[in-house]
Chain A
Amino acid sequence: MELITSIKPVLAVLIPLAVIPVLVSSGGRPNVREAWAFIAGILSFTLVASMVPAVLDENRIGMTLFPIAPGADIALRVDALGMLFALVASSLYIITSMYSIGYMRGLNEHSQTRFVAFFALAISATIGAAFSANLLTLYLFYEILSLATYPLVTHHQDENSKVSGRKYLTFILGTSIGLVLPAMIWCYHATGTLEFSAAGIFESDLSTPSATVLLLMFVFGFAKAGIMPVHSWLPAAMVAPTPVSALLHAVAVVKVGVFSIVRVLTGIFGVELLSSLGLGGLVAFIASVTILVSSAIALSQDEFKRRLAYSTIGQLSYIVLGAALLSPKGMTGGILHITMHAFGKITLFFCAGAIFVATGKKYLSQMVGIGYRMPVTMTAFLIGSMSIIGLPPTGGFISKWYLVLGTLEGDQAVMLFVLLTSSLLNAAYFMPIFYKAFFCTQEEAMFERKFDEAPVMCVVPLVITALISFILFFAPQPFLNLSTLAVTGFTGG
């Protein structure tokens, strides 16, 4: 394994950032503006993808940008875990940019330029977080992402979004400043470094009580991961336009949260220290509670996006649970779930948005019989929800398979029970939607049996993501190899 110095990761972060002035200055010509957003997205994705072979050869690519303090620089470094996440985020950004055009223009939304500009900033911060070489850099991008998302969440600028925006900030900023910042400085004070390394930064001189407190500060401090009880910002953030919910609150923002937790577990504490202190079980327990409770809450939600939000909270904890299992298979499954859940859930959000654009309906109880009017959307919905439940032939099956193997490997039957119960609950809150959409009597149906889909720019992206979810079942290799490689790195062989 060698460290290649390259400017590529820096460029992948900078391109979406550098395009913002161009986006703003071409605000009067929406087509030009959107074209630039695409170009930036494609360039950034190409850069990320071009580093895949080197990463798969077990190299790391990076660059130190600004030294801040001894042992804490602002530095980027691409490894398998970061690559997997950046690949997901940057590819979905392109698809979401397309979807945004259909959605925002379809609804004739105001301030579209601001929307596009902050979206680009958010994706830049996400890629930055994925490529962070140490905790300080990760924190930097984490905070930028929190603040860049605020104007997106509160896009409608009405009373409702103001309240949700407050909630969003209180949870996200409150925990990152109140918990992560002191925890990070504590680490730095104790060890003099914040660099992620598989062996952890503590040389086993950490007592169990301090380690527990520190770990909890991180797990709850990265509130973007939506671990209960710091989850309630996510349903509130659903007030945002759907492209935001889709890319940021199913992929970028929330996954930066779980990604950060996984990084801290594997790079700051280290798998070895966690298993010797027995702290994996604690995190797994917290994650399990979140999985079960949020899935149960999701059952009772009638607003489409809120149900998806609670589903997301549960699925995010799968990833945390996988990492906390500390067994190779379990961790592989958890990391792989970042990808699988991303493609599945973004499809579902795209569907929710497409239905809203086409019919103006937000509540599931108003969507009876919609399958005949929007068959493409609802078929995509079926594939997406199957992926979330973990049914073949969709990508979600693969990651759940590994998670289940992980629980067996770690001899943790309780966690197996949690996973299976949650899958049943997932099926219970998704399948009725699909069922009611197609299987209803003529009297029950709320829509005419006439094909009338959302705008093409809305439908094409959701077909693409649904197809990818499907393909990932047969060809999970790039992501599976990356997550296996990442886990090999964490467990040291």
Chain B
Amino acid sequence: MIHYPAVVVIASLLGAFIAGILAWVQERYTYPAALIATGISCAAAVWDLIYVAGHGPIAYHMAGWAPPMGIEYRIDTLNAMVLVLITAIAFLNLAASWPNVKQEMPDRSPSFYVMYLLFVVGLTGVASTGDLFNLYVLIEITSLSSYTMIALGDRDRGPISALNYVFVGVIGASFYLLGVGYIYIKTGTLNMAEFAAMIPNIQDSTTILTAFILCIVGVFIKMALFPLHVWLPNAYSYAPVGFARIVAPLMTKVMVYVMVRLMITVFGLDYIFIKLHIADTIVWLGTIAILAGGVMALAQTNLKKMLAYIIVCEIGYMVGGAWLGNDSGITGAVLHILNDGIMTFALFLAVGNMVYKLDRVEIKDLKGLFAGMPWTMTGFVLAAFSIVGVPPTCGFFSKWYLILGAFEAGAWHFAAALLISSLICAVLFFKVFEVCFFESPDTHDGPGSDAHGHHTTVAIQEAPAISLAVLGIAGISLIVVGLYSKTIVVRLIWPLLNP
């Protein structure tokens, strides 16, 4: 019996307990404990991925109980990839954010680390489990820990954003739970694989249709698909930096993973694209989300808010792509889970570095940042180009598959939205770059009239080395993952679509 699938989740869970106890005994050991726990999770996830890519899916029965009684963890290439993404970001972010946590919450850092680990437990669990109800429980673990951590953020607006998030999050979870209830009533099973085997016989059932719609709406709320996104921008902008850096790249992406899982494994592509006739509508929803997210991002004056709306826009990419109904579309959506995770992580890492030095990240306050924080800005520029979709950064390649999928499906509106959003993102980021590049922080009356020479030199004030190192890793992976797209697609995504 291979125990690595369990280790991924349990390492962080045990880590949370140990860190919690250490918080009482020896406070300064909580951080190393958390770092080690996420490190072990990450190593186990990498092992999973290597094993699954070579040997096919792993079915792991928790505590040896076989389904339907026990909970099954089922790891295939899709969730192995998502698990590596989650645990790698969790580990790297913990390393990068240590200075930020110390700066932002000197008195409450142990509780931050404990909640952080529980959040990782939730995410890794969601990505591992093969049980529909267990999925609900783990989504709630993720959500509850994120409510707490968002409330730890900005003293004025953190709690209210968290409360807003709680209301919407609970509604979303209730939808999903209700759907699972229907499934259980109809089939008597909660195991994904068992349910999937029953689907061909019961696909005309209204109960199943209701269950599907309830589940998918719940997931849409949790992933902040426009117009169900209203909780996201505030929650992500007022969260503490150390948490924003993990929740922004991962939370929505993991919910997209859940959607893809429901589509591919649970209900099955035949049921979704042949039986149901809602794919076109959802592609339209994705199109609208892309455009609305982009336009709202344009209206923001705060960098964090702007990035939050870009996330809303990116969700449209993945939802629309997955529902195009062809291999290219789903490939693009799944590849974008990975790519968008990395690029959002890199962006928020850079923003976290800016917050560390500047405190506020109103776009107009970022003057002279290219001179002041050259390394942070290099990472930021690279991630921005990936969002815009400039090759060879990874964002280009998932966009490539998405647009190709749109062409194959004849979904011209979706292809147009993808291209327009690329242009909008270019405008968004160059608006920021212009402030950072052209305006020097010393002069308040605009740029100087002396065109040649004599520019005031801005002293370099960079973020701590560890934060920069992690940003460097993220930046390099943007390009490496991009260049190895074909390997990822062929080895990890296609086996999923054509088993």
Contacts and interface: CB of A to CB of B under 8 A. Distances in A.
Interface of A: 65-69, 74, 107-111, 136, 139-140, 143-144, 147, 151, 154, 156-162, 165-166, 169, 173-174, 177-178, 181-182, 185-186, 188-189
A interface majority secondary structure: helix
Nearest to B381: A147
A443 B389 CA distance: 59
A111 B423 contact: no
Given A110-B453, A157-B438, A189-B408, A74 B423 contact: no
Contacts of B419: 177-178, 181-182
A30 to B, nearest CB: 14
22 contacts: A68-B485, A69-B485, A74-B392, A107-B452, A109-B453, A110-B452, A111-B455, A136-B391, A147-B385, A147-B390, A151-B437, A157-B437, A158-B438, A158-B448, A158-B451, A161-B438, A166-B430, A169-B426, A177-B426, A181-B403, A182-B419, A189-B408
Given A68-B397, A143-B391, A177 B422 contact: yes
Nearest to B483: A66
A160 to B, nearest CB: 8
A177 B455 CA distance: 34
A388 B453 CA distance: 34
Interface in B283-337: none
Contact of B447 (A111, A140, A159, A174): A159
B483 A188 contact: no
A141 to B, nearest CB: 9
Contacts of A109: 452-453
Interface residues of B, number: 37
A186 B400 CA distance: 11
Nearest to B401: A69
Contacts of B447: 157-159, 162
A186 B407 contact: yes
Given A110-B455, A177-B422, A158 B403 contact: no
Nearest to B448: A158
Given A69-B400, A147-B390, A177-B422, 9 more contacts: A66-B486, A74-B392, A108-B452, A140-B391, A147-B385, A162-B438, A174-B423, A177-B389, A185-B400
Interface in B358-409: 385, 388-392, 397, 400-401, 403-404, 407-408
Smallest CB-CB A-B distances: 5 pairs: A140-B391, A189-B407, A67-B486, A66-B483, A108-B453
Contacts of A110: 452-455
Contacts of B26: none
Nearest to A67: B486
Contacts of A144: 390-391
A24 to B, nearest CB: 9
Given A66-B483, A143-B391, A182 B451 contact: no
Contact of A143 (B390, B397, B423, B453): B390
B446 A159 contact: yes
A177 B423 CA distance: 7
A139 B404 contact: no
Contacts of A147: 385, 390
Interface string B429-444: 0100010011000000
A157 to B, nearest CB: 5
Contacts of A139: 391
B498 interface: no
Interface string B444-487: 00111101111100000000000000000000000000011111
B428 interface: no
